[in-house]
């Protein structure tokens, strides 16, 4: 009996030792980020400066964000080294050397005119009425893949920009095309100026420059299209970084790009190619925040006059990875996510607890790691190797009881530290003013939670309004108990603590109002616990918001007093809306998915919400598409949503493919644009403009739609269809065939 008990004790100790070691190793590995790598080369002297290791502390949300400017290139390089910037030595030239290389490779984009026997035009008539892009802010135009001036349509397929004489419809035809090296992501048309912008990829171009940006480059080219048959380049820019979004306001283009900081001795800031001239964003125009970053990015706003392509302004701010931009008539708001990393905090506590016990040899090893040249080890690699020293100590220098005691101390201190934070995820905002085209970072702030999309932000009468969802798993160190059998019926099985486990705290939704300094004025938190925001729409003094888990709570929130947010009413119905659009002051259109009471989606749904009685909103009408698999890209892309109240017109891309029906004849398949007659109390589908081409039912085809006078234009990648608005009868079809650079395979 005594031997069996001894065997059980040994077994339990072994289990505890193995699992505690696993927990410590997991903590170390989980927070170690592999270093970013980039193109390598040599500086002129063949060696960069050596720096010391920089201890970084987690962000403290209780501290007010204050942007700072770098005073020198050395200060900027130190920041990049400390925050995970990759090493690169490609393209280190200055002055005449760099200019000579750029001149040898930079040339205007090739253009190919396609006449098709059409007569030439020198501009739009200016008298036709037409629809504009569905912009979030009426006066702020958003870049899109199709634009019109009421007579011509400008659109993109592959790497080709098409200029189409669109009205009258019977005479519609392609006037000319512009073939580009890379596929454009957006267009603007402003009078006789066409701006084309997107990401730029050309390995030969970068090879000749001896410079390979980590995320490539973006491009912005402005054309004079007064002669539609022969567009002429006015100005060309290439910006280091990937294209994020763009806006056009008051005849100025605002283009936002993002790049990863790279440890470069020459040109440490984002590079700008203006025609054949190479320069970089001035160091003084790069703003940063003290503290650590998980994924450091340079987010740069470039602003220029669309008429001349000149008067370029640039402002760069260091952010986490960013994908949400909102622009009002006065400001651009850049939103990024900031996370409190509990694993990093546990590492810091482990080092603090063990540091005084290290031997002289271990301390010396750590110092050698810290002093290693940054060209050899990045900051993240240094931290990884330093943590290995501490890990070796805990694994080989402590016995089971000491290791257990250390782990208990770490658990207790970590939990105490984590209680300081109201949330583990925050959205950080940077407000850049755009007065008179000048870009100035004016304010910074943060609120708990993350954004669903750009419509979760709004500026109104000097107040910035935000809606967020807070999803969190806090790793409170509550032990998970497990029974260990004693292999002896006379001895009761015992429970031992084997490993901490995550305890999800669920999700909540919150609304905040902030002043222009981005300080919080008021907050309404804890809305729809356990659900998340699917759509939001700020309209004047109100916010309309939809959350979802199983049913669709539609909320009406009063923001008339920025210092006193108030819930007015709510409605719960099956399904959810992913996009909300105002019909009028008392009616909201919602587009999303129908669902069962259990939350299973059942296909495309359009709702009309009557909010005239704000305390008791009702669903005044709805349309549910045939087919459980029906969907629309307008649920996610607001620019695919075409609405005109006077014309009682609603057009959205729609697609359905019935995967499960055994009978092909019974399948509810379609692919095109749904056209509706819509009023404040009814939704009636008039028909579908077909773009399926008889073959492709595997994905949505229609990308955008617009109207000119009495005609409806719907665009898919290879087809522009023209139909009568009155009866939807076909008027004409125009095939959009990309040129030789439009893709890897020929298209017929």
Question: Rounded to an integer, what distance in angstroms lies between the CA atom of residue 660 and that of residue 657?
Answer: 9
- Asked whether the predicted pLDDT for residue 23 surpasses 50, the reply is no
Comparing CA positions, the residue from 194, 202, 191 lying closest to residue 220 is: 194
pLDDT score of 226: 97
As to burial, measured by CB atoms within 10 angstroms (0-12 exposed, 13-18 middle, 19+ buried), residue 385 is middle
User: Angle at CA 92, nearest 5°, toward 89 and 98?
Assistant: 150
- Total number of residues shown for the chain: 748
SS3 per-residue string spanning 714-737: EEECCEEEEEECCCCCEEEEEECC
Task: Summarize the confidence of residues 89-102 as an average pLDDT.
Answer: 35
Closest CA to 607 of 627, 628, 587: 587
Other Cβ atoms within 10 Å of 436 Cβ, number: 8
CA distance 73 to 308: 32
Mean pLDDT of the chain: 81
Question: Rounded to an integer, what distance in angstroms lies between the CA atom of residue 572 and that of residue 569?
Answer: 10
Tokens 């999803």 belong to residue:
471
Q: Model confidence over 547-572: pLDDT tens digits? A: 987 666 899 999 999 999 999 999 98
Interatomic CA distance for residues 685 and 165, integer angstroms: 29
705 vs 630, more confident: 705
Decide: 491 and 5 in contact? Cβ < 8 Å: yes
In whole angstroms, how large is the CA radius of gyration of the chain? 30
- DSSP conformational letter for 289: -
Distance in angstroms (rounded) separating the CA atoms of residues 197 and 185: 6
Q: At 670, is the pLDDT very low, low, confident or very high (cuts 50, 70, 90)?
A: confident
Contact 379, 83 (CB under 8 A): yes
Residue 36 has pLDDT above 50, yes or no: no
| Confidence grade of residue 627 (pLDDT, cut at 50, 70, 90) | confident
The model carries a pTM of 0.81
pLDDT of residue 91: 37
Average pLDDT of the residues in 595-605: 74
Whole-angstrom Cα distance, residue 255 to residue 432?
13
What tens digit of pLDDT does each residue of 62-82 get? 677 778 888 888 888 888 877
Separation of alpha carbons 303 and 331, rounded Å: 13
Average pLDDT of 485-503? 45
Higher pLDDT, 10 or 250: 250
Q: Using 50, 70 and 90 to split pLDDT, how confident is the model at 312?
A: very high
Neighbour-count burial for 294-320, b at 16+ CB within 10 Å, e otherwise: bbbbbbbbbbbbbbebeebbbbbbbbb
Residue 442, pLDDT above cutoff 80: yes
- Residue ranges with strand state E in 283-436: 286-288, 297-305, 313-319, 322-327, 331-339, 425-433
- Strands in 501-645 per DSSP E: 503-514, 520-527, 532-539, 542-548, 551-558, 566-574, 576-584, 587-595, 601-610, 618-624, 642-644
Residue 16: predicted pLDDT:
40
pLDDT at 84: 62
Q: Which residues contact 743 (CB under 8 A, 6 or more apart)?
A: 158, 159
**pLDDT level of residue 88 (50, 70, 90 thresholds):** very low
Is the confidence at residue 388, as pLDDT, over 50?
A: yes
pLDDT for residue 354 is more than 90: yes
47 vs 178 pLDDT, higher one = 178
Q: How far is CA 272 from the centre of its chain?
A: 23
Q: Rounded CA gap, 335 and 288, in Å?
A: 14
pLDDT tens track for 219-268: 999 999 999 999 999 999 999 999 999 999 999 999 999 998 877 777 88
Least confident range of 367-381, 689-703, 721-735 = 689-703
Of 92-106, 173-187, 599-613, where does the model show the most confidence? 173-187
pLDDT of residue 614: 92
Q: What is the arrangement of strands in the sheet containing 152-157, beginning at the earlier edge strand?
A: 111-112, 173-179, 160-165, 152-157, 146-148
3-state SS, residue 653? strand
Beta carbons within 8 Å of 151's beta carbon, 6+ residues apart = 121, 123, 124, 125, 126, 128, 165, 166, 167, 708
pLDDT at position 668, please? 64
pLDDT band of residue 213 (cuts 50, 70, 90) is: low
The pLDDT confidence band at residue 690, using thresholds 50, 70 and 90, is very high
Query: What pLDDT band is residue 587 in, cutting at 50, 70 and 90?
Result: very high
Q: What is the DSSP letter of 48?
A: P
Distance CA 157, CA 159 (A): 6
For residue 479, what pLDDT is reported?
Answer: 44
The reported pLDDT for the residue numbered 95 is 34
Provide mean pLDDT across the span 507-521.
Answer: 96
Q: Is 332 helix (H, G, I), strand (E, B) or coil?
A: strand
pLDDT at res. 340: 84
């Amino acid at each position: 009996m005594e031997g069996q008990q001894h065997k059980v004790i040994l077994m339990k100790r072994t289990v505890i030792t193995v699992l505690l070691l696993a927990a410590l190793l997991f903590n170390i590995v989980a927070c170690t980020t592999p270093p970013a790598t980039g193109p390598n080369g040599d500086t002129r002297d063949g060696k960069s400066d050596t720096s010391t290791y920089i201890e970084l502390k987690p962000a403290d949300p209780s501290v007010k964000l204050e942007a700072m400017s770098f005073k020198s290139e050395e200060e900027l390089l130190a920041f990049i080294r400390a925050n995970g910037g990759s090493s690169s030595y490609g393209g280190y030239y200055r002055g005449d050397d760099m200019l000579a290389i750029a001149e040898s490779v930079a040339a205007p984009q090739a253009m190919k005119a396609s006449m098709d026997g059409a007569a030439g035009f020198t501009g739009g008539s200016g008298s036709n009425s037409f629809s504009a892009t569905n912009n979030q802010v009426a006066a702020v135009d958003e870049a899109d893949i199709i634009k019109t001036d009421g007579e011509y349509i400008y659109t993109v397929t592959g790497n080709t920009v098409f200029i189409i004489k669109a009205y009258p419809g019977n005479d519609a035809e392609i006037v000319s095309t512009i073939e580009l090296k890379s596929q454009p992501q957006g267009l603007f048309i402003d009078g006789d100026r066409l701006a084309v912008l997107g990401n730029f990829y050309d390995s030969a171009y970068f090879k000749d420059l001896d410079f390979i940006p980590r995320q490539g480059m973006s491009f912005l080219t402005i054309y004079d299209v007064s002669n539609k048959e022969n567009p002429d380049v006015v100005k060309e820019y290439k910006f280091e970084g990937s294209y994020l979004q763009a806006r056009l306001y008051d005849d100025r283009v605002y283009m936002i790009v993002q790049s990863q900081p790279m440890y470069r001795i020459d040109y440490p800031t984002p590079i700008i190619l203006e025609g054949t001239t190479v320069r970089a964003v001035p160091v003084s125009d790069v703003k940063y925040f003290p503290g650590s970053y998980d994924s450091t990015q340079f987010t740069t706003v470039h602003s220029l006059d669309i008429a001349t392509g000149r008067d370029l302004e640039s402002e760069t701010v260091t952010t986490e990875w960013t994908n949400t931009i909102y622009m009002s008539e006065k400001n651009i708001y850049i939103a990024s996510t900031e996370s409190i990393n509990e694993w990093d905090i546990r590492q810091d506590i482990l080092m603090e607890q063990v540091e005084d016990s290290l031997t002289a040899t271990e301390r010396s090893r750590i110092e050698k790691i810290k002093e290693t040249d940054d060209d050899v080890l990045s900051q993240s690699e240094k931290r990884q190797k330093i943590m290995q020293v501490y890990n070796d100590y805990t694994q080989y220098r402590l016995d089971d009881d000491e290791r257990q005691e250390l782990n208990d101390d770490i658990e207790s201190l970590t939990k105490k530290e984590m209680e300081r934070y109201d949330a583990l995820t925050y959205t950080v905002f940077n407000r850049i003013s755009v007065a008179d085209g000048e870009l100035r970072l004016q304010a910074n702030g943060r609120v708990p939670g993350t954004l669903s999309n750009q419509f979760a932000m709004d500026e109104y009468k000097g107040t910035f309004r935000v809606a967020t969802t807070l999803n969190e798993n806090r790793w409170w160190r509550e032990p998970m108990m497990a029974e260990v059998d004693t292999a002896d019926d006379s001895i009761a099985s015992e429970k031992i603590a084997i490993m901490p486990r995550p305890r999800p705290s669920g999700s909540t939704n919150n609304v905040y109002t902030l002043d222009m300094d981005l300080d919080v004025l008021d907050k309404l938190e804890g809305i729809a616990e356990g659900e998340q925001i699917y759509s939001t729409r700020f309209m004047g003094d109100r916010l309309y918001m939809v959350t979802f888990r199983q049913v669709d709570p539609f909320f009406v929130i009063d923001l008339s007093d920025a210092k006193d947010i108030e819930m007015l009413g709510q409605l719960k119905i099956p399904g959810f809306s992913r996009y909300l659009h105002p019909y009028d002051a008392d009616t909201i259109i919602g587009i999303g998915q129908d669902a069962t009471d259990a939350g299973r989606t059942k296909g495309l749904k359009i709702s009309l919400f009557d909010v005239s009685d704000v305390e008791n909103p009702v669903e005044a009408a709805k349309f549910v598409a045939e087919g459980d698999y029906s969907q629309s890209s307008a649920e996610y892309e607001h620019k695919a949503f075409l609405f005109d109240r006077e014309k009682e017109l609603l057009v959205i891309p729609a697609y359905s493919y019935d995967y499960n029906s055994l009978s092909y004849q019974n399948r509810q398949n379609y692919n095109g644009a749904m056209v509706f007659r819509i009023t404040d109390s009814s939704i009636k589908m008039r028909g579908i403009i077909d773009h399926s081409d008889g073959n492709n039912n595997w994905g949505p085809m229609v990308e955008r739609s617009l109207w000119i006078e009495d005609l409806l234009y719907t665009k898919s990648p290879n087809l522009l269809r023209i139909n009568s608005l009155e009866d939807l009868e076909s008027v004409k079809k125009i095939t959009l065939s990309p040129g030789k650079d439009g893709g890897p395979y020929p298209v017929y």
